[in-house]
Amino acid sequence: MSAVANFWAVDGEVIGKQTNIEVEGGGNNLDMPIPAGRMVRAMVDDVLWKTQDNEGTFINIKWKVVAPECYAGRVIFQKVHVRCMEFRHAGKWKGFTDEKMKVQRIKFLKMLATIDTNAGGKLLSVPDMPTDERLQACLSGKEMCLTMEVWENEIDRNTGQRFPNRIDYGRGNWVKAVAPKAEFKGMSKEEQEAEVAKTEAVYKKMLEEAGGQRTPRPQGGGQGGGGQPQQQQRPASDFDSFDDDIPF
């Protein structure tokens, strides 16, 4: 991975420190995600460069939720496409103009700069593109406040057809906003129990509408609308944790 004149610069404008950011777009895949708008405190559990044929090379951040307790242990994957302009012909970016690609790169650089600022700003202090080693040294173990959003996909990527029942849709969380961990607002035990109960009720209603069962997935790694194997577990009122695998 070669260095550039200034990794943080776009047309001569250098992205600097910033503590808060709110974005559009993103996703993951889980039966019942954390409710939209919910603020969580999360830790960078792992971070490294990753390459996918249809998206190019991006920074993949594995977040692990620390609080509130009802979501502790959940995992959120976030893709930060700071090199998107290098992969204009990858499937995700087909049809994007140079100007639109530049706008996208600026957004992703600001996201990375915000995460780094809240982690101490060590990446921003060096103009070179960070290696896996620097990403891990500067970001791993750092906590900050994330605001969750929810996406839902009704199309089965195996067949291109719409799923017959909403319970079979791909759905999950994406990172709507990042802020310093001090901005996290906790929830009382009663508030957590009420929120989990509400989520369980939504799941139960969808299951009833589907006749009491989900559509069987193809054997051998079938995928749901979110592009990842569908997990078959339901939310638990005793705050059991489960992972979110986010393709964005």
Residues 6+ apart with CB under 8 A from 97: none
pLDDT at 133: 97
Give the span between the Cα atoms of 231 and 78, in whole angstroms. 19
Q: What is the DSSP string of 113-157?
A: HHHHHHTTSTTTT--SPPPHHHHHHHHTT-EEEEEEEEEEE-B-T
Roughly what angle, to the nearest 10 degrees, separates helices 98-118 and 132-139? 40
What is the pLDDT of the chain when averaged over all its residues?
83
The answer to whether the Cα torsion of 111, 112, 115, 118 is positive or negative is negative
pLDDT at 153: 87
Structure confidence by residue, pLDDT tens digits, 118-159 = 999 999 999 999 999 999 999 999 999 999 998 888 888 788
Q: What is the pTM of this model?
A: 0.80
Q: Which two tokens stand for residue 163?
A: 């799923």
Give the span between the Cα atoms of 80 and 219, in whole angstroms. 32
Torsion-angle region of 74 (φ positive above 0: left; ψ -120 to 50: alpha; else: beta): beta
Closest CA to 116 of 98, 131, 133, 135: 135
Under the banding of pLDDT at 50, 70 and 90, the label for residue 222 is very low
